[in-house]
Amino acid sequence: MYRKRILKIVALNLGIALFNIILFGIARIELDISDPLGFALGVAAIFLSISIFIYGNYTLLTQKAPPIMKISDIKSLDDCIIVLNRSYGKKTFDNSITTLKEQVERFNKKKTKIFGMLSEKFNVIDKVYEKFNTTIFDVEYVFLSNIKSILSKISAFDEEDYERIRHDIDQKKFSDEVITSKMVIYNEYITFVKNAIEDNEEIIIKLDALLLELSKVNSLEAGEIDNLKEIKEMDELIKKSKYYI
């Protein structure tokens, strides 16, 4: 962010300088009082340059950086993408972050298709639509909570220490017991992230199954929706998630 601000300031001032070079060098406008038009243009150009210089530099120098979104601030799929984009940098998890971004985009597409199909087949005030709506948003909450847990693990993961331990294994600087104890802890981080990503994939698969089921039916009664296999599986997922979210 700081580097971008510096680049903007440099670009602004170079632009002002180039403007004046063209005006007074190439166009040869002079501050000659005997030439009223040229004098007026020159004064106006100088005034404009000074104004832009003062206002532009002041604005850029005093511009406050936007607040950094915390993991706990994630409330939507768009928020997830923002936090995931700035979570790169630990090579152990960079591929995992890319996978998570793809999962968020796919989840969003599935959700959009499901609600599009629901709008075609059911009235938004129907109990059937309301049940689908509640279930999908509850599943999304589980999905988001899962990603927040993953990001918390990645944030807590000390990559430098992890790489140092791997180097120590080759150098045999510590006993096998010490190395093993440390690696067990870091492997728990890695395993958690891997399993959580697989859990997310299961959620997306359930959305796919629900989308397929919706494409087969033209009408449902309020009581029938609770008996759909896909809805039952999602409800079970939501209930289980309440124990560890």
Q: What percent of the chain has pLDDT over 70?
A: 81
Of 146, 126, 174, the C-alpha closest to 245 is: 146
Extents of the domains making up the chain: 2-62, 71-241
Q: Is 242 helix (H, G, I), strand (E, B) or coil?
A: coil
The Cα–Cα gap between 99 and 118 comes to 28
Instruction: With a cut of 90, say whether residue 88 has pLDDT above it.
Output: yes
The Cα–Cα gap between 30 and 28 comes to 6
How far is C-alpha 192 from the chain's CA centre? 21
Which residues, including other chains, have CB under 8 Å from residue 189's CB and lie 6 or more apart?
153, 154, 156, 157
Answer whether 60's CB lies under 8 Å from 9's CB: yes
To the question of pTM greater than 0.85 for the whole model, the response is no
Instruction: With a cut of 90, say whether residue 61 has pLDDT above it.
Output: no
Give residue 5's pLDDT: 74
* Residue 197: how many other CB atoms lie within 10 Å: 17
Instruction: With a cut of 80, say whether residue 78 has pLDDT above it.
Output: yes
Instruction: With a cut of 80, say whether residue 237 has pLDDT above it.
Output: no
Instruction: With a cut of 70, say whether residue 125 has pLDDT above it.
Output: no
Angle between helices 229-241 and 127-156 (to 10 degrees): 40
Answer whether 74's CB lies under 8 Å from 88's CB: no
**Lowest mean pLDDT across 5-9, 52-56, 221-225:** 221-225
Instruction: With a cut of 60, say whether residue 243 has pLDDT above it.
Output: no
Query: Residue 156 corresponds to which amino acid?
Result: A
